[in-house]
Amino acid sequence: MAVLESISADTRSRIRITKEQTVEKQQCKGCDQIVTDPALEDRVSREVLAIDGGVPVRREPLPLEFPGVHHMDEEEVDAAVKVLRSRSLFRYYGVDLQREVAQFEEEFAQSLGVKHALAVSSGTGALHTALSALGAGPGQEIIVPAYMWVSVLAAVVNHGAIPVLADINQTFCLDPSEVKRSITGRTSGIIMVHMNGAPGDVDAIRAIADQRGLWLLEDCAQCSGGSIHGRKVGVSGDMSVFSFQMNKNMTAGEGGCVATNDDRLHQRASASHDLGYARGEDGRLNFDDLDLCLWGRGYRLDELRGAVLRVQLRKLSTITQAMRRSKLRIRKVLEQYPGVQLRKILDPEGDTGAFLILTFRDKDLAKRTNEALRAEGIVPSSQGVSNVLMLDWGLHLYYKNRSLVEKTSADGAGFPWQLEENRALQREYGKGICPVADDLFERSMLLAIPSNLTKGDEDDIIAAFRKVLSHVL
């Protein structure tokens, strides 16, 4: 064993002779080969990092990172069965309509404290619906964060508008001063994304939008149930969107929502998500108002998922409380290590707790720590992607979106980049455009906090962190 060689003869003999119960960390490396006292042997061997051949803290995988899934039970089953028995799976009419989607919308709007919620079939659909309602199109620049999800870019590009990347700060959300710097005479709005379960500085961004006469769209897909200083995420934007895909805080497998306090935007969203025409109370299409005659996208939500989402919404605060409690416990321990920089959380009480982000001095240390933690057993089963270096975190990083960097187009003719209206709006998207994000991505790792961690799971995570950090820092 290579580590054995690093232990001096003096140390070896001391361990052998005294069998001291308090063995220094450095002396422990590889001592399991030498000491004979079984109790001490066990303690000592546990101190060797698993990545160096020691005993891992944990052998069982951590639960998968699907917050809503862990709280699903017979309630969701009954809700879905009730809809099936009614044989009325379409939201606007049926032989025995249960109005599950309509009730979900009312309950979701009420839980947020906004006037309108429109349920749609996905978060991506919600983004497209909201941008249609807001009138996004060619000749417009729309500010998006360097750290987001590809759906944000897709919604902008599919509308023919030009995405403009703005850098993030230590919240891993938009930096307000970078938003300000990115505004031009062609900017129409800002999409702010509350990343990884914790809200960004939405008040500052709202103020900028107001000053400059821009709309603000809040993407709350990763932050359902979150709040900042007592205000729910999703109430500050002109519109806000949510996702209920399986990785999100509440889920029906797929699903989304568009929320707004504006009657007109709600009507336009409603027309856009459906056939392109608004509907009256009776579900009949309205052709009278040309401003509401849009082009439909076909993102209606069905009754089955509406019913499941009603149950999940009732469980949302239980789900987020569980994650937040686990995360705060782990974070408290990590706060004791000056060599670990934790993501800036603007309001710990409003953090949904879904993710823990750690930043290190440099890229190599982040890599070494992450690999060592994984070797200690801090990993979900093979399906999960939790506990990763942020560099391996895929399409959340702007420059990993090849379609963006290469400006590809569905029509093969360069839409929307080559449109006449966009000629003057040429932007670049390769690595280097957002230096703060580039730097944070390289030095950070991310651990999902499952919503069903036991105290024992948390103990293991903490023990693994302590063990690894005491070696690598």
Instruction: Tell me which residues touch ligand PLP (CB under 6 A).
Output: 122-124, 148-149, 151-152, 193, 219, 221-222, 243, 245, 256
Nearer to ligand PLP, 148 or 461 (CB): 148
Nearer to ligand PLP, 244 or 429 (CB): 244
Nearer to ligand PLP, 221 or 271 (CB): 221
Question: If you ran DSSP here, which 8-state letter would residue 355 be given?
Answer: E
Q: How far apart are CB 121 and ligand PLP at their closest, in Å?
A: 8
Q: How far apart are CB 245 and ligand PLP at their closest, in Å?
A: 4
Containing 110, the helix (H) or strand (E) segment is helix 100-112
Q: How far apart are CB 154 and ligand PLP at their closest, in Å?
A: 9
Q: Is 248 in the active site?
A: yes
Nearer to ligand PLP, 337 or 393 (CB): 393
Nearer to ligand PLP, 30 or 306 (CB): 306
Q: How far apart are CB 5 and ligand PLP at their closest, in Å?
A: 48
Per the residue annotation, which of 29, 232, 248, 327 is the catalytic one? Answer: 248
Q: How far apart are CB 306 and ligand PLP at their closest, in Å?
A: 15
The total number of residues written for the chain in this structure: 473
Question: If you ran DSSP here, which 8-state letter would residue 225 be given?
Answer: T
Nearer to ligand PLP, 243 or 270 (CB): 243
The DSSP result for 253-291, as a single string, is SS-EEEEES-HHHHHHHHHHHTTSSEE-TTS-EE-S-GG
Give the residue closest to ligand PLP by C-beta: 123
| Sheet order of strands, 215-219 included | 116-120, 256-260, 239-243, 215-219, 187-193, 141-145, 162-166
Of the candidates 294, 213, 223, the one whose C-alpha atom is nearest the C-alpha of residue 257 is: 223
Q: How far apart are CB 255 and ligand PLP at their closest, in Å?
A: 7
Q: How far apart are CB 194 and ligand PLP at their closest, in Å?
A: 8
Preceding peptide of 348 cis, ω within 30°: no
Containing 118, the helix (H) or strand (E) segment is strand 116-120
Neighbours of 270 (CB within 10 A): 21
Q: What number of CA atoms fall less than 13 Å from residue 8's CA on the CB side? A: 4
**Residue-wise over 431-460: b if at least 16 C-beta within 10 A, else e?**
eebbeebbebbbbbbbbbbbbbbeeebbeb
Which three-class secondary structure state does DSSP give residue 391? helix
- By 3-state DSSP, what share of the chain in percent is helix, strand and coil, each rounded to 5? 45, 15, 40
Q: How far apart are CB 396 and ligand PLP at their closest, in Å?
A: 8
Q: Please list the residues that pair with 168 across neighbouring strands.
A: 174
Nearer to ligand PLP, 122 or 182 (CB): 122
Note whether 121 and 300 are within 8 A (CB).
yes
Query: What angle do helix axes 303-334 and 455-472 make, rounded to 10 degrees?
Result: 50
Q: Which two tokens stand for residue 7?
A: 């232990």
Distance (Å, whole) CA 50 – CA 165: 41
Nearer to ligand PLP, 19 or 400 (CB): 400
Q: Which residues are catalytic?
A: 248
